[in-house]
Structure 1
Amino acid sequence: MSKVIFITGASRGFGKLWAEAFLKRGDHVAASARNLDDLNDLVSKYGNAILPVQLDVNSREQCFKVVEKVNAHFGRIDVLINNAGYGLFGAIEETTEQQARDQMETNFFGLLWMTQAVLPLMRAQKSGHIIQLSSFLGLATLPVLGLYNASKFAVEGLSETLSQEVKGFGINITLIEPNGFSTDWSGASAIQTEATDTYAPVKQAFFEAATPDSWGKPEATVDAVLKVVDSANPPLRLLLGKIAYPALKETYQQRLALWEEWKDVSADAHGH
């Protein structure tokens, strides 16, 4: 049975790749972009199966209106994939107030507005699946991506809480957590802070650590995403890529060891 899938940020990268994969197999897709011309190729190929919608996720009002439009057009929304977002590269000290606010506005608040907009429809349907594009950097961190890390940590906390709140309504939540992939995320879509000499060594070490093998192939993610969408019991979290699991396993082992080392101090701080 075909599904109605709403994907934000569908003009490029994962969003466009996954949109076409769903269309190819017979699903209906609402695809949002700031510039609808970026979706012309999919419209010419798949016709009425795709509904292109112009959307700036930073506008809460637009998010609610577009969700209403998609629901009116297709009659339901089975899956929302909150994919819109971008990377901000630079040291935390170098980050301007506007850059910091813009990063959180799109990566966190945009995702929140879309989630709030679709929840009443999914509750009425007594079914639905919200897929949040997070990152393995929502569970661990790398230097030079402080505000991006922070935005994804926020997405993680929000979505894990949400999964507990809406499970009784038949709504599933999945956090997709890719490691680095060869999309526009680190290229044309990325924003850079104004560099200073202070953090040059940190940045050099960061960029030198990324070998060509560190970056996954975006096309290879399609089967995983289709499996998650088709699952009767989808996971709360799904890592994508071969770098994420070993990196996070090491991070959590270190955290557990540190908590263990300080557990007596922690327990004493309880007071009784």
Structure 2
Amino acid sequence: MSVLIKEDDFYDLAMEYFSRAHKDGCLHSEVFFDPQGHVERGISVDVVVQGFDRACKDANAKFGTTNKLIMCLLRHLPAASGIETIDSTAKYFENGTIHGLGLDSAEKPFPPELFTECYGLIKSKFPQVGLTAHAGEEGDHTYVSNSLDLLNVSRIDHGVNSKNDEQLMKRLAEGRIMLSMCPLSNVKLQVVKDVSELPIALFLENDVPFSINSDDPAYFGGYILDNYIEVHTRFGFSLDQWRKIAINGIEGSWCDEDRKKELKAHVEEVCNKYASILN
């Protein structure tokens, strides 16, 4: 991280990711970044955001993709630091450069209730901003339900331990609250020993919407296609099951309705193509 100093450094980092994701067939990404870690090193938040934003725009133009930024707060830092970070990036939330707010880093011992003021501030000042939070990976299922109830998030990152509460799974299914699952990261961080142990099939059977994602691939390994391949290798889902997973991911995304229609049409086109081959 120490080599990231100038705006061009953040631009290059993001473009490297977007290029790799494009090679993997990714058409839309919603990318997390943690400005607090850079601000602590004396890097201006404007340098970070403007470098990433320029990369998003160039990747969209170059690859025909759509890419959005989600700013995360580091939960091991005080909520006051989160408030300062939100205040310093307010103009980027207002103009749509930053599309969402998240909460990451170690869940324990930093439960969601510590950050109600941060999320309340965003909700009151920028109601258009999407809200999500890492929950139920290291923490138990109550971290998921408390994130929904106290932070008013519309999505959950990871959410693996939602499997341990039937009522919570029902709530996720009925509310169409998407879990952004990161299978290879869960193995790397020893949440499970193998991808086959993840409740992916259970969530699918119970109509809990989820998407398949990479998580810090430069650190943990496992870019987006690697995660899809690993899930298919372990679970062997049918074409119809993969169609459902893909459509749920699109529905749970924060792209606009026109883009969702484009992406869903592409899913149907690909599924129809391979259905004819498989038949």
Give the TM bin, normalised by the shorter chain: 0.3 to 0.5
Structure possessing the higher relative contact order (Cα contacts under 8 Å, 6 or more residues apart): 1
TM-score (norm 2): 0.38
Structure possessing the higher radius of gyration over alpha carbons: 1
